[in-house]
Amino acid sequence: MVKAFATLLIHFALLTAAPPLLLGVINKTKAWFAGRRGPPLLQAYYDLARLFRKEMVFSRTTTWVFRAGPVVGVSAALLAGLLVPFGAFDAPVAFTGDLVLFAYLMALGRFFTTAAALDTGSAFEGMGAAREVSFASLAEAALFMAFVVLVRFSGSLSLTPMFHAPMTAPLHGLPGAAVFLVAVALFVVLLAENARVPVDDPNTHLELTMIHEAMVLDHSGPLFGLILYGAAVKLFLLSALLLHLLLPFSLGAPLLDWLLFVAGLGAIAVGIGVVESIMARLRLRYVPSLLIASAILCVFGFFLTLA
């Protein structure tokens, strides 16, 4: 009872507090590659604190949708966080079909953030929103195909047992290969959904080339803070899902398992930083090919599990 309560508490604490740290790790990695010292590890927290103290400025064109975008985005991401198992521990809420709810909560956030972008009537924000929904339609297919393979692999229809299955099931032979393909695809989906290189460059300075950053040009103050925070939560959740496939084991002791989870997430963040340092952003018209390829990898994985 106490143990379950403690697990729940740690889950909530990590879900709400840890996400901005990943951004810090990514930026440190990129700075290290470029030979710079880089911003402090906790820079994202400072930014959030600063934004939440600031005033907001609204365009006269906007309506309630502009304000609802960030709010719904964060709420949906945090609720989706209740369905994701962290490390060797079960998710606080797990039920048959929660994988569909997870994906559709993300979609709910996307619906409102892109509508909020159109609410400003700015060409740049419309452009960003158009790219976001276009690429997401392919990323969604890849994500669901990845889930299909894991459902087959685990024989279960809930995220917690699905992603815990690699801990117990043998990972050699065909099923192992399928899980590997799914891991690759999930990594691509993670990069695309979180607007990282090679799909989008979060540090670019030209609005014309951006996706996610272009959508939020007009948001300011606490609402902008919510957007940054929501994006970090999304990155955290998809990384947590991916981590199950990369580190499919438990150390036995809860404390060690939590440490392993945090270290693993840090490693994924370093990995994202490395990708961003050594790769250029793809031209926009090649992004669909990347996403379709990742979906096809999952289809291969599916046929491997059928065998």
Partner 1 sequence: MYLDLCLVAILLTAVSGVPGLGFGRRSAVGQGIASLLLVAGALLGAATALVALTSGTIETSSFCGALPELALHLRLDPLAAFFLVPVYVLGAAGTLYGGRYWRQAEHPENGRKLRLCFGLLIASLAAVALAADGFAFLFAWEISALSAFFLMTTEDDQSEVQQAGWVYQVAMHAGTLALFALFGLLWAATGSLEFHPLPAGASRPGVTSVLFLLALLGFGLKAGIVPLHFWLPAAHASAPSHVSALLSGVVLKMGIYGLLRILTLLPTPPTAVGMGLLAVGAGSAVYGVLFALGQHDLKRLLAYHSVENIGIIVMGLGLALIGVSAKQPAWAALGLAGCLLHVWNHALFKALLFLAAGSVVHGAGTREIDRLGGLAKPMAHTASLFAIGAAAICGLPPLNGFVSELLIYLGLLRINGDGIRGAWSVAPLTIPLLAMAGALAIACFVKAFGSVFLGPHRSEQAARAHEAPSGMLLAMLALALGCIGIGALPVFVMPALDRVIETWVRLDSPPPPLAELVPWPPLMGINAVLVVGALGFALLVRSRSRRGTPAQTVTWDCGYARPGSSMAYTASSFAQILVGLYAWLLRPRSLGAVPSQLFPPAGSFHTRVPEQVVEGVLAPLWAGFRRTLIPLRAVQHGQIQQYLVYVLVTLCVLLASLHPLGDILLRMLGW
Phi, psi of 260 (to 5 degrees): -60, -40
- The least distance separating partner 1 from the CB of residue 264, rounded to whole angstroms, comes to 27
Does residue number 138 form part of the binding site for partner 1 (CB under 8 A)? Answer: yes
Closer to partner 1 by CB, 137 or 203: give it.
137
Does residue number 96 form part of the binding site for partner 1 (CB under 8 A)? Answer: yes
Does residue number 234 form part of the binding site for partner 1 (CB under 8 A)? Answer: no
Token match 């299955």: residue? Answer: 165
| Number of residues written out for the chain | 307
Does residue number 144 form part of the binding site for partner 1 (CB under 8 A)? Answer: yes
Does residue number 15 form part of the binding site for partner 1 (CB under 8 A)? Answer: no
- Map residues 195-214 to x or -, x wherever contact with partner 1 holds by CB under 8 A: ------------x-------
Closer to partner 1 by CB, 156 or 277: give it.
156
Phi, psi of 158 (to 5 degrees): -135, 145
Closer to partner 1 by CB, 185 or 265: give it.
185
Q: Residue type at 81? A: G
DSSP characters over 115-176: HHHHHTT-HHHHHHHHHHHHHHHHHHHHHHHHHHHHHHHHT-SSHHHHHHHHHHS--SHHHH
- Residue count, binding to partner 1 (CB under 8 A): 84
* Part in contact with partner 1 (CB under 8 A); list of ranges 138-146, 168-176, 188-196, 259-267: 138-146
Does residue number 282 form part of the binding site for partner 1 (CB under 8 A)? Answer: no
From candidates 22, 26, 108, 265, binder to partner 1 by CB under 8 A: 108
Does residue number 76 form part of the binding site for partner 1 (CB under 8 A)? Answer: yes
Q: Could you give the CA distance from residue 88 to residue 90 in angstroms, rounded to a whole number? A: 7
Does residue number 124 form part of the binding site for partner 1 (CB under 8 A)? Answer: yes
Closer to partner 1 by CB, 217 or 270: give it.
217
Q: Could you give the CA distance from residue 200 to residue 134 in angstroms, rounded to a whole number? A: 13
From candidates 31, 32, 41, 152, binder to partner 1 by CB under 8 A: 152
Closer to partner 1 by CB, 76 or 272: give it.
76
* Part in contact with partner 1 (CB under 8 A); list of ranges 5-13, 58-66, 183-191, 228-236: 58-66
From candidates 193, 213, 218, 276, binder to partner 1 by CB under 8 A: 218
Q: Two tokens at 188?
A: 């691509």
From candidates 8, 31, 130, 184, binder to partner 1 by CB under 8 A: 130
DSSP characters over 247-301: S----SSHHHHHHHHHHHHHHHHHHHHHHHHH-PPPPGGGHHHHHHHHHHHHHHH
- The least distance separating partner 1 from the CB of residue 301, rounded to whole angstroms, comes to 12
Does residue number 59 form part of the binding site for partner 1 (CB under 8 A)? Answer: yes
From candidates 71, 262, 274, 275, binder to partner 1 by CB under 8 A: 71
Closer to partner 1 by CB, 45 or 52: give it.
52
Residues with Cβ within 8 Å of residue 91, at least 6 apart in sequence:
11, 82, 83, 84, 85, 98, 159, 160
Contacts 24+ apart (CB under 8 A), 52-60: 52/221, 52/222, 52/225, 54/220, 54/221, 54/222, 55/220, 55/221, 56/220, 56/221, 56/222, 56/223, 57/220, 57/221, 59/120, 59/121, 59/218
